[in-house]
Amino acid sequence: MTVLDFIHGLSWKDLPDEVRAQARRCLRDLLGVAAGGLGTKMSRIIRDHAAEDFAGDTPLLFDDRRAAPSAAAMAIGISIDSLDGHDGYNPSKGHIGCPLLPALLVFGNQAQVSGEAFLTALVMGYEVGARAAEAQHGTCPDYHTSGSWGAVTAAAAGARLLGLDVDQTRHALGIAEYHGPRSQMMRCIDWPTMVKDGSGWGAMCGVSAVQLARRGFTGAPAITVEDAPEYWQGLGEDWRILRQYFKPYPVCRWAQAPVEGVLALRRAYGLTSVDVDHIEVDSFHEATRLATARPVTTEEAQYSTSFPCAVAMARGGLGPEDLDGPALHDPEILRLSEGLIMAEDAQANAVFPGTRLARVRLVLRDGRVLESDWMRPRWDAEEPPSEAELSRKFHALADPVLGRDRAGAIDAAIARLEEAPLTALTEHLFRAP
């Protein structure tokens, strides 16, 4: 099966039950994270920018305003990215759903598609997005953000939902690949700001590529699609959507194994932060570069290893409320964060990016040193969260922002979306809290 055949030919009846269930889980998780991030400065700025500087008729997510399609997609993607709690894919070192969902919402609403058509396009997008990411990482020496290959992902989704023909689709993918943001991921790791993972810009580029291709603009070929066939095997058989991880904590995935190590030792020995002199972490190179010990912004807190570990030790957990506001000035958290010692480990380096390992030592004030096992982040694809765990995460993020009733209505609409029009869901999405 060619990539173009798969983009337009996949049908809901082709999908195994586990793939259908995973599509609903991914959709709900992304919307929960988007709701949870709504109060961030990053989300507020990008939604104001879209509504005020790009006039149009496309509704914004969880907002009463409208913008041009590409700007709406940018705003949705950046709002999701404003809280680093969305699903991801280890081989891509990034996130497929974040640049994909904006294109689905923009074009699904424009074309007034069915819920089944929307969910099928979502599955297709995860399959194409995973392979586009693998192809780009496998053929390009630089580590680019998710927005780079996410632009191709968004274009594939839009081409399907708007019914572009095969030639138009080919050009849409090429336009998106050519103009996709080849932004440097490690720059944002070293200097965390609101540019983050580039997903919103990728979504904007993908949506624009579809609109241009529909009008006859040319841009083929997408080299990572057409000239890297070894990365495109297994379409319709090997379901990459089932290999997505979910995040229990809204911080970079690279910091989550260290957090698990801290929490495991805290629970096992009944410790509080006052028992701890300092924390030591062994992990892979990239994790050691999440090095902001005294964050001033939530972006710096989310892209840190030391600060989330300090929060986990001081508070026994880690949520959005721990990554902004008063938490950034908590003297006990800052003491532990600034005192944390990071070390690069060859064993952890050897298995990255497929596995993200960390080992934690708590050096106690009484002189004892407690060491964890080698830890992995929770909720990897090999040990996924339960339905109940993901439901609790969604409601923990969405209920305080949208209200329990509205969050529950979104959850219920997703559960039966394949049997309803997309509007059964979007009627709850395109208005302010």
Q: What is the mean pLDDT of residues 104-114?
A: 98
- Of residues 86, 84, 76, the one with CA closest to residue 47: 76
- Of residues 143, 149, 144, 145, the one with CA closest to residue 126: 149
Residue 94 belongs to a domain with what CATH number? 1.10.4100.10
313 and 394 co-located in one domain:
no
Q: What is the mean pLDDT of residues 66-86?
A: 98
If you ran DSSP here, which 8-state letter would residue 355 be given?
Answer: -
68 and 193 co-located in one domain:
yes
Q: What is the mean pLDDT of residues 38-62?
A: 98
Q: Do 370 and 265 touch, CB atoms closer than 8 A?
A: yes
- Say if 55 falls within a structural domain: yes
Q: Is it the case that residue 383 has pLDDT exceeding 90?
A: yes
- Say if 379 falls within a structural domain: no
Q: What is the mean pLDDT of residues 357-380?
A: 98
Bridge partners (DSSP) listed for residue 94: 89
pLDDT at 121: 98
Per-residue confidence at 381, pLDDT binned at 50, 70, 90?
very high
- Please work out, in degrees rounded to the nearest 5, the angle formed at the alpha carbon of residue 309 by the alpha carbons of 33 and 192: 60
On the question of a cis peptide bond just before residue 353, with omega within 30 degrees of 0, the verdict is yes
126 and 243 co-located in one domain:
yes
Q: What is the mean pLDDT of residues 347-357?
A: 96
CA separation for the pair 388, 395 (Å, rounded): 11
174 and 28 co-located in one domain:
yes
Residue 353 belongs to a domain with what CATH number? 3.30.1330.120
217 and 353 co-located in one domain:
no
241 and 215 co-located in one domain:
yes
Q: Is it the case that residue 407 has pLDDT exceeding 90?
A: yes
130 and 187 co-located in one domain:
yes
pLDDT at 358: 98
267 and 221 co-located in one domain:
no
Q: How many other CB atoms are found less than 10 A from the CB of residue 66?
A: 17
136 and 11 co-located in one domain:
yes
The predicted-structure confidence for 173-221, as pLDDT tens digits, reads as follows 999 999 999 999 999 999 999 999 999 999 999 999 999 999 999 999 9
Across all residues in the chain, what is the average pLDDT?
Answer: 97
H or E stretch at 277:
strand 276-283
8 and 124 co-located in one domain:
yes
Q: Is it the case that residue 1 has pLDDT exceeding 90?
A: no
Percent with pLDDT over 70 in the chain: 100
170 and 243 co-located in one domain:
yes
- Say if 382 falls within a structural domain: no
| Whether pTM exceeds 0.85 | yes
Examine the fold and report which residue of 345, 371, 397 is the final residue of a domain before the chain moves on: 371
Helix (H, G, I), strand (E, B) or coil at 429: coil
- Say if 168 falls within a structural domain: yes
- Say if 376 falls within a structural domain: no
- Say if 394 falls within a structural domain: yes
- Say if 433 falls within a structural domain: no
H or E stretch at 278:
strand 276-283
Question: What token pair was written down for 213?
Answer: 């291709």
Q: What is the mean pLDDT of residues 149-159?
A: 98
Question: What token pair was written down for 377?
Answer: 């982040």
- Say if 187 falls within a structural domain: yes
> How many distinct structural domains can be found in the chain?
2
pLDDT at 324: 96
CA separation for the pair 411, 328 (Å, rounded): 32
Q: Give the structural domain span for 319.
A: 253-371
pLDDT at 365: 98
pLDDT at 298: 98
235 and 262 co-located in one domain:
no
